Amino acid sequence: MTPLVRIEDLRVRFRTAERTVHAVNGVDLSLMPGEVVGLLGESGSGKSVTLKALLRLLPEARTTMSGRMAVAGQDVMALGGSALRAYRGSVVSMIFQEPMLAFDPVFTIGEQIAEAVRRHENADRTAARARALEMLDRVRIPSAKRRLDAYPHEMSGGMRQRAMIALALACRPKLLLADEPTTALDATVQIQILLLLRELQKEFGMGVIFVTHDIGVAVEVSDRLAVMYAGRIVERGSARDLIRAAAHPYPRGLLASTVHGAMRGRRLDAIPGAPPDLAKVPDGCAFAPRCRFADAECVSRRPDIVRIDAGHEAECRRLDAVAASAEG
Amino acid sequence: MTEIPGTIAGATIEGPAGPARGYWSNVLRRLRRDRVAVVCIVILALILLAAIFAPLVAPGDPFRTSMLRRLRPIGTPGFPLGTDELGRDMLTRLVFGGRLSLFTGIVPVINAFVIGTFLGVFAGFSGGRTNMAIMRTIDVFYAFPSVLLAIAISGALGAGIFNSIVSLTIVFVPPIARVAESVTTQVRNLDFVDAARASGAGAFTIIRVHILGNVLGPVFVYATGLVSVSMILASGLSFLGLGTKPPEAEWGLMLNTLRTAIYAQPVVAALPGAMIFTVSICFNLFSDGLRSAMDVKL
């Protein structure tokens, strides 16, 4: 089977008058049709930028992109004009973090979904509206017929995110990009949305790239996980590999700093230090300054990718020392 | 935030979804509850209708002069609002004067609304150097006080209704373009524009649907407020002899010609001013009401 998405050595830089930010520094990622990959990382690790790069949504005047990206056989870097517009929405679509902001406040939900349908399919007004209604039903919005004429501000956060999913899936994309779709929702609604996404993903057979900073959420929805740090993927593997046997010190630190399983009354083990300034790419491992296993070579030379298991890889020179410390 | 006060009475019981009504019917409903706005609309409608149907409404001929009955006071039989310095019926002239005054008040604002919105949206959406070029040029016009600018342009073009409309249009383009530009700049960076692009919308669709959809409301409200300014400026131009020419009836011009009578018949002399005041304040209050009625986002 050919992969649905193949990203090779993606690099993204943002230029401003004062400085250049190296947001993504060589990301390789591939995704099979019908597979869900969770991109995990803290703010500024480049995960959202990677998603936007896949849709070519980054402001062109200020962005430099290099590398190769192919989705469903199309070279994303080479797309332009009407080919790009056709690609967006019908091949790849996106769910945004804040559903309140992702809908235009002056149009009804139904109008916005129907508009997207009419853009890609030669549907008339009635057919597009019927599709919008069908999609609202699909995402389990109660009394969908009435919500069709509701404005975004008339709906609750969870409803809006459901409607956002309906909008994103209205043209049956092959790949869905989800940019922290549950971050702005409260915990009970989060689970419902995640279950819904997972269900629709199976039903439609889409590939999904799911960006989040919440490990719990990532594990819930993903087949495979990739952990990003400073614009690179530092470890990847199945959800199980990463939770049970994270090899790289950064994901290990992330896991240690979650509340799950921590002893009451004990301080959480936070990772010391702060993420690096992306104004310049470090020569060595970007995590080295915060890593207690790091030595001089970690700082000066970029570590190679080490294969741990089938499909489980980490970018670290000191995996033995890390593993040893866990046993001792 | 989601529940507008007006919806409680009309809300259906089924579910918390809120009534699924159109945007404009919601605006209308909220506007109806605003008593000040309703009164203003009624007054404006009456004045507008009277001006449109002036020949039917007005009791006399606006141009018929009489040296014998000059400057009669209010309440003179046959002349309910008195007569002016040439013995013409004030009521008739006020009704006819409304035609030109409203025309010169509204038309420049409509022109400026179209031109200013276009310029502002174009500048705001293009960003960068195009924005700089357009907006800085507009700032040059904006730097002049509006009255001075109107007088200067009218003076250069020469007197006449057409020229005063042109000059007033030029005066109102900059402020409208600025409002349109600032809203456009705000809107184009919002997530829903990215979301529209992510679902395949081109630049034209984004401008037509999402930018204009959000820009037209605030600009329209702002423009409504400008109608009163436009009327006052137009009256001012006529007063200075740069707008309408005598013997045409126009409120600003009437104010000018009657100023010699300010000691003899102060109340009659003030009537055109009272009309200008009433109409402009009504437009302002209506624009305020419209602003709050149209604000879905609150």
Q: Does A62 touch chain B (CB under 8 A)?
A: no
B14, B200, B296 member nearest A105 (Cβ): B296
Q: Does B21 touch chain A (CB under 8 A)?
A: yes
Cα dist from A313 to A190, A255, A306, A307, B48, whole Å: 30, 17, 6, 4, 77
Q: Over its length of 328 residues, how does chain A's per-residue pLDDT go in tens digits?
A: 788 999 999 999 998 888 888 889 889 999 999 899 999 888 888 888 999 999 888 888 888 899 999 998 888 888 888 888 889 888 999 998 888 888 888 888 998 999 889 888 888 888 899 999 999 998 888 888 888 888 888 888 888 889 999 998 888 899 999 988 888 788 888 888 888 889 999 998 899 999 988 888 888 888 999 999 988 899 999 988 888 888 888 888 888 776 665 566 666 677 777 778 888 777 888 888 888 888 888 888 888 888 888 889 888 888 888 887 766 5
Q: Does B210 touch chain A (CB under 8 A)?
A: yes
DSSP B89: B
Average confidence score pLDDT of chain B:
82
Amino acid at A36: V
* Chain A nearest-CA residue for B19: A150
For A85-98, the three-class secondary structure string (H helix, E strand, C coil) is HHHHHHCEEEECCC
Best of A16, A151, A155 to disrupt the B interface (most B CBs within 10 Å) is A151
The predicted structure's pLDDT at residue A266: 66
Q: Does B190 touch chain A (CB under 8 A)?
A: yes
Domain boundaries, position B157: 23-60+78-294
Rounded to whole angstroms, the Cα distance separating B113 from B117 reads: 6
The predicted structure's pLDDT at residue B1: 39
Q: Could you tell me if residue B72 is inside a domain?
A: no
Q: Could you tell me if residue B249 is inside a domain?
A: yes
The predicted structure's pLDDT at residue B296: 58
Average pLDDT over residues B98-119: 91
Cβ separation of B198 and A57 shorter than 8 Å? yes
Is the pLDDT assigned to residue B96 strictly greater than 60? yes
The tally of CA atoms less than 13 A away on the side-chain side of residue A160 is 25
Cβ separation of A153 and B2 shorter than 8 Å? yes
- CA-based nearest distance B227→chain A, Å: 25
The ipTM, to two decimals, is 0.77
Q: How many domains does chain B have?
A: 1
Rounded to whole angstroms, the Cα distance separating B289 from B298 reads: 14
φ, ψ dihedrals at A67, nearest 5°: 110, -170
Is the pLDDT assigned to residue B19 strictly greater than 50? no
Q: What is the bridge-based pairing of β-strands A207-212 and A224-229?
A: unpaired
All residues of chain B having their beta carbon less than 8 Å from the beta carbon of residue A17 are none
Q: How confident is the model at residue B14 (pLDDT cuts 50, 70, 90)?
A: very low
Q: Could you tell me if residue B2 is inside a domain?
A: no
Q: Could you tell me if residue B179 is inside a domain?
A: yes
Q: Could you tell me if residue B4 is inside a domain?
A: no
Q: Does A148 touch chain B (CB under 8 A)?
A: yes
How do the domains of chain A map onto residue ranges? 5-33+41-80+219-327
Rounded to whole angstroms, the Cα distance separating B147 from A20 reads: 48
Q: Give the pair of three-digit tokens for residue B137.
A: 């040029």
Chains A & B: contacts with CB separation below 8 Å: 100
CATH code, domain with B199: 1.10.3720.10
Cβ separation of B192 and A150 shorter than 8 Å? no
Counting Cβ atoms within 10 Å, is residue A255 exposed (0-12), middle (13-18) or buried (19+)?
middle
Average confidence score pLDDT of chain A:
86
All residues of chain B having their beta carbon less than 8 Å from the beta carbon of residue A103 are 192, 195
The predicted structure's pLDDT at residue B21: 55
**Which of A242, A249, A234 has the alpha carbon at shortest distance from A319?**
A249
Rounded to whole angstroms, the Cα distance separating B108 from B35 reads: 29
- CATH of A5-33+41-80+219-327, picked from 3.40.50.300, 3.40.640.10, 3.40.50.10360, 3.30.565.10, is 3.40.50.300
The predicted structure's pLDDT at residue A296: 84
Q: Going by C-beta distance under 8 Å and a sequence separation of 6 or more, which residues neighbour residue B7? A: B18, B19
Rounded to whole angstroms, the Cα distance separating B146 from B233 reads: 8
* Chain A nearest-CA residue for B201: A85
The predicted structure's pLDDT at residue A243: 83
